[in-house]
């Protein structure tokens, strides 16, 4: 493994480009910040993540149904949900460099020497903000040639800066104070216009989350299906946020994909128990697609930071190379959303309780996760560089993506040992065609067999099947099965191969 986390990110970005997982969007025009394209392997990997989630969340459960709502919804949806007024991040401008920062990701500290403030230092969010600020403070002390003991820095973010401090805090872009503005609320929704007129009456928004679709269609689903509480509505789809600082590759982008589910429960149900069950379900699901426990943790939002209607939010965090960050948020939202839409639309969003003969508005638990963030997590957890012996016993480097068979973009590669032996090629093609009906398979007859294994290792293919002389010359019709992680080889029949896939790819 590369020693430094920064190198690991670099290695992943480079592999992603080189092997066709992820490209910058519109690259021939210089790219567009915060947007990405998914190449052949990336598109397949994303699809596998979506398919696993949909199968486990919707198809294999009796209490959850699927939905696909439109990306552009009536603008009143976003007024009722609170997004028009409140879906904002605090923005700080640097008037000199024209750079923009998220105030809660820009940190500063007064530099105190011998009990006196000699100036301020600032740093952008990193793995070790305190150390970055301390180093900057030492530099400032040296530059100003002030004698005395430097106090340990006390960092705050820009949302906590007092008005009189703002002109004294240096901009990270210029290193000089005086150019940063006070934080102001910046709405992250992308606006567009619907129809030929482009005036205030035609303003609409690209959805910043898929969740509102489930709330707005709640009555439709209740009236047209046979769902009974508790039940969920799940959706996968694109969301758009005009993030102030898109960064960390596909971790925070402006166009991304969400997999969200609204689980409706009775107003008197034990929401805390249900919340905990969903957190555990999400953790187990992440493990099932290959994320190791060692990289997962929980973060419970402190009560004072919750929205007034929220009963509790727990994030499942993942240890990315750039720090421990939110992967999946599981929120207990009470009945806020349905109530807001009932009030704004004038259409009650209630269910009838047969036992009490009373109507009530269901409460909801919402697990919300980003497909792109999961994809980055599996790439980070699966990437490895190893020294391995080649066929002649010489040590060579191999790059391997240890992706779970569930999500690997290619499940099996079919490799005829040589490409000019008709019988070998015929058997390989026959197997390839059979496998293709059910699985994503690769056929590769180009180059030395060792090279072909390496190519598949980099793509995360769990198994290679080599059709060799033993296949055609000896009884049993067996192939060489080569495993990606152990690099071990054994002989396997076609029936056994299909059984292995059936068991591991679900």
CB of 245 within 8 A of CB of 102? yes
Q: Which residues contact 144 (CB under 8 A, 6 or more apart)?
A: 118, 119
- Of 285-293, 300-308, 322-330, 454-462, which part binds ligand ATP (CB under 6 A)? 322-330
**Whose Cβ is closer to ligand ATP: residue 158's or residue 368's?**
368
**Whose Cβ is closer to ligand ATP: residue 134's or residue 239's?**
239
Shortest Å distance, C-beta 369 to ligand ATP: 5
Q: Where are the beta strands (DSSP E) in 56-198?
A: 64-66, 88-93, 100-102, 106-113, 116-124, 156-157, 184-187, 191-193
Shortest Å distance, C-beta 187 to ligand ATP: 14
Q: Which residues of 207-230 are buried (b: 16+ CB within 10 A; e: fewer)?
A: bbbbbbbbbbbbbebbeeeebebb
Q: Residue 25: which of 323, 190, 246 has the closest Cα?
A: 246
Shortest Å distance, C-beta 265 to ligand ATP: 20
**Whose Cβ is closer to ligand ATP: residue 170's or residue 329's?**
329
Shortest Å distance, C-beta 370 to ligand ATP: 3
- Contacts of range 352-360, beta carbons closer than 8 Å, 24 or more positions apart: 353/266, 360/266, 360/267
**Whose Cβ is closer to ligand ATP: residue 137's or residue 206's?**
206
- Of 37-45, 163-171, 291-299, 327-335, which part binds ligand ATP (CB under 6 A)? 327-335
Q: Phi first, then psi: give them for residue 113, nearest 5 degrees.
A: -120, 130
CB of 431 within 8 A of CB of 467? yes
**Whose Cβ is closer to ligand ATP: residue 204's or residue 327's?**
327
- Of 8-16, 63-71, 320-328, 348-356, which part binds ligand ATP (CB under 6 A)? 320-328
CA atoms within 13 A on the CB side of 196: 0
Number of residues that bind ligand ATP (CB under 6 A): 16
Q: Phi first, then psi: give them for residue 480, nearest 5 degrees.
A: -90, 125
**Whose Cβ is closer to ligand ATP: residue 252's or residue 482's?**
252
How far is it, in rounded angstroms, from Cα 242 to Cα 20? 26
The answer to the question of residue 443 lying near ligand ATP (CB under 6 A) is no
How far is it, in rounded angstroms, from Cα 450 to Cα 338? 58
Q: What share of the chain is helix, strand, coil (3-state, %, to 5)?
A: 35, 30, 35
How far is it, in rounded angstroms, from Cα 365 to Cα 211? 11
Shortest Å distance, C-beta 81 to ligand ATP: 12
236-275: which residues touch ligand ATP (CB under 6 A)? 241, 243, 252-253, 256, 258
Shortest Å distance, C-beta 368 to ligand ATP: 4
- Of 146-154, 323-331, 411-419, 428-436, which part binds ligand ATP (CB under 6 A)? 323-331
By beta carbon distance, the residue nearest ligand ATP is: 370
Block residue for tokens 């015929």: 426
Shortest Å distance, C-beta 310 to ligand ATP: 11
Shortest Å distance, C-beta 241 to ligand ATP: 5
The answer to the question of residue 458 lying near ligand ATP (CB under 6 A) is no
**Whose Cβ is closer to ligand ATP: residue 244's or residue 417's?**
244
Shortest Å distance, C-beta 238 to ligand ATP: 11
Shortest Å distance, C-beta 256 to ligand ATP: 4
Q: Which two tokens stand for residue 316?
A: 């499942």
Q: Where are the beta strands (DSSP E) in 22-133?
A: 22-24, 36-38, 64-66, 88-93, 100-102, 106-113, 116-124
**Whose Cβ is closer to ligand ATP: residue 177's or residue 183's?**
183
**Whose Cβ is closer to ligand ATP: residue 112's or residue 369's?**
369
**Whose Cβ is closer to ligand ATP: residue 369's or residue 464's?**
369
**Whose Cβ is closer to ligand ATP: residue 177's or residue 312's?**
312
212-241: which residues touch ligand ATP (CB under 6 A)? 241
How far is it, in rounded angstroms, from Cα 482 to Cα 449? 11
Q: Which two tokens stand for residue 389?
A: 């012996």
Binding mask 350-379 for ligand ATP (x = CB under 6 A): ------------------xxx-xx------
Shortest Å distance, C-beta 271 to ligand ATP: 18
Both ends of the chain: CA-CA distance in Å?
29
The answer to the question of residue 326 lying near ligand ATP (CB under 6 A) is yes
Q: Report strand pairing: 412-416 vs 441-443.
A: parallel
Q: Residue 288: which of 48, 38, 16 has the closest Cα?
A: 48
The answer to the question of residue 329 lying near ligand ATP (CB under 6 A) is yes
Binding site for ligand ATP (CB under 6 A): 209, 241, 243, 252-253, 256, 258, 326-329, 368-370, 372-373
């Amino acid at each position: 493994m590369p020693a430094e986390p920064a190198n690991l990110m670099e290695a992943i970005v480079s592999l992603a480009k080189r092997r066709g997982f992820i490209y910058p969007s519109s690259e021939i025009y210089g790219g567009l910040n915060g947007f990405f394209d998914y190449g052949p392997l990336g598109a397949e990997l994303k699809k596998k993540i979506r398919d696993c989630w949909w199968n486990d969340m919707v198809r294999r459960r009796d209490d959850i149904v699927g939905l696909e709502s439109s990306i552009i919804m009536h603008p009143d949806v976003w007024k009722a949900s609170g997004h028009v007024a409140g879906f904002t991040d605090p923005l700080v401008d640097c008037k000199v460099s024209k750079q923009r920062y998220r105030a809660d990701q820009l940190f500063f500290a007064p530099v105190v020497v011998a009990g006196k403030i000699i100036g301020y230092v600032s740093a952008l969010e990193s793995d070790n903000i305190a150390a970055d600020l301390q180093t900057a403070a030492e530099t400032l002390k040296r530059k100003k040639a002030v004698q005395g003991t430097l106090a340990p820095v006390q960092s705050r973010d820009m949302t906590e800066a007092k008005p009189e401090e703002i002109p004294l805090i240096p901009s990270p872009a210029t290193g000089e104070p005086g150019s940063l503005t006070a934080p102001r609320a910046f709405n992250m929704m992308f606006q567009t216009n619907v129809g030929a007129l482009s005036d205030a009456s035609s303003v609409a928004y690209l959805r910043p989350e898929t969740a509102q679709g489930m709330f707005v269609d709640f009555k439709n689903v209740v009236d047209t299906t046979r769902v009974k509480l508790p039940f969920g509505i799940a959706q996968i789809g694109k969301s758009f946020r005009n993030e102030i600082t898109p960064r960390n590759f596909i971790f925070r982008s402006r166009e991304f994909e969400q997999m969200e589910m609204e689980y409706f429960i009775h107003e008197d149900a034990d929401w805390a128990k249900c919340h905990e069950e969903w957190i555990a379900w999400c953790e187990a699901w992440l493990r099932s697609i290959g994320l190791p426990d060692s990289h997962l943790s929980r973060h419970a939002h402190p009560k004072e930071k919750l929205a007034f209607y929220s009963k509790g939010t727990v994030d499942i965090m993942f240890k990315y190379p750039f720090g421990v960050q939110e992967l999946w948020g599981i929120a207990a939202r009470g009945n806020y959303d349905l109530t807001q839409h009932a009030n704004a639309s004038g259409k009650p969003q209630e269910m009838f309780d047969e036992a009490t003969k009373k109507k009530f508005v269901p409460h909801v638990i919402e697990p919300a996760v980003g497909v792109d963030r999961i994809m980055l997590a599996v790439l980070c957890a699966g990437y490895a560089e190893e020294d391995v012996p080649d066929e002649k016993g010489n040590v060579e480097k191999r790059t391997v993506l240890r992706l779970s068979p569930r999500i690997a973009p290619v499940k099996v590669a079919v490799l005829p040992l040589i490409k000019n032996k008709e019988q070998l090629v015929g058997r390989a093609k026959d197997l390839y065609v059979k496998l293709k009906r059910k699985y994503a398979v690769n056929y590769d007859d180009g180059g030395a067999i060792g090279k072909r294994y390496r190519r598949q290792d980099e793509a995360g293919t769990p198994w290679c099947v080599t059709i060799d002389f033993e296949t055609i010359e000896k009884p049993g019709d067996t192939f060489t099965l080569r495993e990606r992680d152990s690099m071990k080889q054994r002989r396997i029949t076609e029936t056994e191969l299909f059984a292995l896939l059936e068991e591991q790819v679900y």
